[in-house]
């Protein structure tokens, strides 16, 4: 979960919460003219709710200049997918003797299902084992946050928020729950010298439907695409906002 420095020669973009909206994701890459010299930081939740989260994730995995972080939906998938793999082994008669599903395992799967995992789980489990393993390793490698500097401006990129925020607290001291599940508090003043960029909370819940929400030291860029609103992307070089 280390910090990262932006060193590419093109422009730097931030995108979040595509939630299986593959067509809108491709339209956004086309709209910003995303090329190999650019960098795109993705704030998590590629998967679930919409139909094509696995397709989005596979596409991101093929781009060395797309740098993702962990969202709460990827975190739930990491907990639940090993359980689904075990169920598959049991069903096919290939499980080791004594293999069983615990109540905790059931809770992990139920939490993911309650949060819209069906299209993701279905697409994932249809893939060959080697491809499933590759996707799982990719999700497991995702950091909880990234720190970057673009044209002298400092940014903290995180999926959800900085829960239990303190300006003197090191980013590595925040829990996973603080970073992937919490909501930004609009009454909180964040850092003086850097801007926090978050997704996770559709901006309509903050009173800004279909557009970014600009708070005191933070910007929420989850515009609720999967809920029939827009997909937003922010250029950190110019602070220009793009919408599909």
pLDDT of residue 109: 98
pLDDT of residue 15: 98
* Main-chain dihedrals φ then ψ at residue 212, nearest 5 degrees: -65, 150
Residues 148 and 160: their CA atoms lie apart, in Å, by 17
Q: Which of the four pLDDT bands, split at 50, 70 and 90, describes residue 3? A: very low
Looking at the whole model, is its pTM more than 0.85? yes
Residues 73 and 78: their CA atoms lie apart, in Å, by 9
Residue 91 has pLDDT above 80, yes or no: no
For the chain, the first-to-last Cα distance in angstroms comes to 31
In the chain, which ranges are E strands? 12-15, 39-42, 66-68, 145-150, 153-158, 194-198, 213-214, 218-220, 232-235, 241-243
Average predicted confidence (pLDDT) for the chain: 95
pLDDT 10s digits, 191-225: 999 999 999 999 999 999 999 999 999 999 999 99
Q: Which of the four pLDDT bands, split at 50, 70 and 90, describes residue 4? A: very low
Using the 8-state DSSP alphabet, how is residue 190 labeled? Answer: -
Residue 134 has pLDDT above 60, yes or no: yes
Percent of the chain with pLDDT over 90: 90
pLDDT of residue 7: 52
pLDDT 10s digits, 136-188: 999 999 999 999 999 999 999 999 999 999 999 999 999 999 999 999 999 99
Residue 24 has pLDDT above 60, yes or no: yes
Q: How many residues does the chain have?
A: 244
Q: Name the 3-class secondary structure at 118.
A: helix
pLDDT 10s digits, 33-59: 999 999 999 999 999 999 999 999 999
Sequence-distant (≥ 6) Cβ neighbours of residue 94 within 8 angstroms: none
């Amino acid at each position: 979960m280390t910090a990262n420095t932006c060193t590419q020669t093109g422009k730097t973009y931030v995108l979040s919460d595509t939630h299986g909206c593959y067509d809108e994701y491709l339209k956004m890459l086309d709209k910003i003219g995303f090329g190999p010299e650019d960098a795109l930081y993705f704030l998590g939740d590629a998967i679930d709710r919409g139909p094509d989260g696995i397709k989005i994730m596979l596409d991101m995995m093929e781009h060395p200049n797309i740098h993702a972080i962990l969202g709460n939906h990827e975190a739930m998938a990491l907990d639940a997918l090993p359980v689904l793999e075990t169920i598959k082994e049991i069903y096919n008669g290939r499980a080791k003797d004594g293999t069983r599903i615990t109540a905790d395992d059931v809770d992990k799967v139920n939490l993911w299902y309650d949060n819209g995992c069906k299209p993701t789980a279905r697409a994932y489990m249809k893939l060959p084992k080697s491809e499933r393993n590759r996707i799982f390793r990719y999700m497991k490698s995702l950091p909880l946050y990234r720190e970057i500097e673009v044209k002298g401006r400092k940014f903290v990129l995180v999926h959800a928020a900085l829960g239990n925020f303190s300006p003197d607290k090191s980013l590595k001291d925040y829990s996973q729950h603080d970073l992937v599940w919490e909501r930004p508090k609009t009454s909180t003043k964040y850092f003086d010298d850097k801007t926090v960029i978050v997704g996770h909370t559709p901006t309509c819940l903050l009173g800004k439907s279909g557009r970014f929400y600009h708070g005191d030291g933070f910007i929420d860029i989850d515009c609720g695409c999967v809920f029939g609103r827009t997909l937003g992307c922010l250029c950190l070089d110019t602070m220009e906002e793009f919408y599909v």
